Amino acid sequence: MRFSRMSAVSRAVQSAGIPLLVVSMVVTTAIAGIPGYFILADALGPERSNEALRVYAVIALCTAVAEGVALAFGIFIFWRLSRRIKTLNDEIRLLVRNVLHDIRTPISHISNAAQRILGGDGCAEDAAADISESCSRILSIVNANVEITNNYARVAELPPGEEDFSAVVAEAVELFSAVADMKGVSLSLETPSSPVVLAAHRHKLQQLAGNLIDNAIKFTPSGGNVTVSLSETRDSVIFKVTDSGVGIAKSDLPKIYDRFFRAERSRDTPGSGLGLSLVRAIVTFYDGDIDCKSKPDSGTVFAVTIPKRK
């Protein structure tokens, strides 16, 4: 419902905008222009050429110019606003379309599995496992979207704790080492020996580290390597994940943080296209920065910088 109201507002602003602008231009021109014209005509008239009237005319001219500039500025702001509303509207439409598209497959798996159980067709345990897997998939799509939205909206949160990012990263590497081993990807960790403490929420740091490490392993073929490193300056923490994987095309780089974006060549790898969007939302939440450098068929480096205090 919120979505349709949004698009109605957007349409109303956009359709009312042009007539509104024309009326305001006519009114402003009349207010500034008509008295200005008489003052100017009077000041420049043959019998009235004294210095005071000339100054008066210049002031009137300046006022008219200032009005013109203000009007142009107003038009510019209006144009920017209506474009922003349109972009937001498009993003919401895309989001809804993608969520619906993404949950349709697991829902049809659930339905098939339920039919199998009801028809006594095949093993009920397998069907239950399919149902459970599909439910987890839907839940992860819903949770990721809720997380991203909460981060964007900066919904009231528990206050951040003093977290040791170094321990979080070590845990994440430990967690992913089995996956890396199975894939034949070497996973290494470079962290300072002392704790790297920052004001943050542990589960957000876990999501951030986990998503970047997961991607690095996922998009690195067997025989490649992934290096996870953490360092700090006086005010910030720098977390880097470097891989020797498939890389990202230059034209795709601006899109990788968009919800549901997946590069053409990664579509046969499992995923939802929500991980980096969530990572960026978390980084933004802590007023940090994320940078990606990549070369196709050579590898990718993600570098996240987070201030120790927000």
Q: In whole angstroms, how far apart are CA 163 and each of 198, 202, 231? A: 6, 6, 15
State which amino acid sits at residue 245. Answer: G
**What CA–CA distance (Å, rounded) separates 122 from 114?**
11
Judged by DSSP in three states, 190 sits in: strand
Q: Does 296 bind ligand ADP (CB under 6 A)?
A: no
Cβ distance to ligand ADP smaller for residue 10 or 294: 294
Q: Does 230 bind ligand ADP (CB under 6 A)?
A: no
Q: Does 207 bind Mg ion (CB under 5 A)?
A: no
Only segment of 13-21, 116-124, 146-154, 210-218 that touches ligand ADP (CB under 6 A): 210-218
Q: Does 273 bind Mg ion (CB under 5 A)?
A: no
Q: Does 215 bind ligand ADP (CB under 6 A)?
A: yes
**What CA–CA distance (Å, rounded) separates 166 from 231?**
9
Label residue 114 exposed, middle or buried (CB < 10 Å: 0-12, 13-18, 19+).
Answer: middle
Distant-in-sequence contacts of 248-257, Cβ < 8 A, 24+ apart: 248/292, 248/294, 248/296, 248/300, 249/296, 253/292, 253/294, 256/292, 257/290
| 175, 220, 103, 254: CA torsion to nearest 10 | 110
Q: Does 210 bind ligand ADP (CB under 6 A)?
A: no
> Residue 173 binds which entry of Mg ion, ligand ADP, none, with Cβ cut-offs from 5 to 8 Å by kind?
none
Find the shortest distance in angstroms from Cβ 248 to ligand ADP.
5
Find the shortest distance in angstroms from Cβ 263 to ligand ADP.
3
Only segment of 86-94, 99-107, 155-163, 208-216 that touches Mg ion (CB under 5 A): 208-216
Q: Does 275 bind Mg ion (CB under 5 A)?
A: yes
Which residues sit at the interface with ligand ADP, rule CB under 6 A?
211, 215-216, 219, 243, 245-248, 256, 261-263, 266, 271-277, 300
